[in-house]
Amino acid sequence: MPAVDRLSMVWVDAAGLTTMNYYDTADATGDIVAGDIANLSNAGQLSFWHGDLTVFDPATIPGGDYQLVQTYALLIFVDAAGNETTVKIPAPLTSIFNADGRTVNPVAIATLIGDVVGHVVTPAGNLVTAFKAGTIMGKRGLQP
């Protein structure tokens, strides 16, 4: 199988509704295809990215208490001015939570915190400077 480049686009319409589509190309022509589609659409391109296609193997998903992506850990980060942004961990491992089972233990996500701080920006456009808090959200409890 030749190398495959996955092109992903999120579109927004005049009513604020969004949709996402993606295409696979045999080479890195994603920019050209995205431009062609944009020229033929009344929607605006909200996001666009492309890169190597990752082949999904369901056997690689570990079991655990939170197996559904509707359950997630919501992490709040702040910039120096106190503006917030969030990062979600879908189907989180139970080991990232404190004994209360609801709040996130920063020590358990130290690598992620280090990768977000100084790299991710808040909606104000400022670099994140600190982790503020994290909690479990969405569906809770044991899930099949």
List Cα–Cα distances, 143 to 46, 91, 115, 129, in angstroms. 34, 10, 30, 35
> What span, in angstroms and rounded, lies between the C-alpha atoms of 116 and 126?
12
User: What are the residue ranges spanned by the domains of the chain?
Assistant: 5-52, 62-138
Are 143 and 71 in contact, with CB atoms under 8 Å apart?
yes
Beta strand segments in 13-140, E: 18-25, 44-52, 71-79, 84-90, 128-138
Q: What letter represents residue 129's amino acid?
A: T
Q: Which two tokens stand for residue 119?
A: 């790299």
Closest Cα to residue 144, out of 75, 70, 74, 89?
Answer: 70
pTM for this prediction: 0.72
% of the chain beyond a pLDDT of 70 = 90
In the block, tokens 């082949």 appear at 55
**Tens-place pLDDT, residues 26-58:** 666 667 777 788 888 888 888 888 777 777 777
Closest C-alpha to 117, from 127, 105, 109, 125: 127
The model's pLDDT over 60-94, given as tens digits with 9 standing for 90+, comes to: 777 778 877 788 999 999 999 999 999 999 889 99
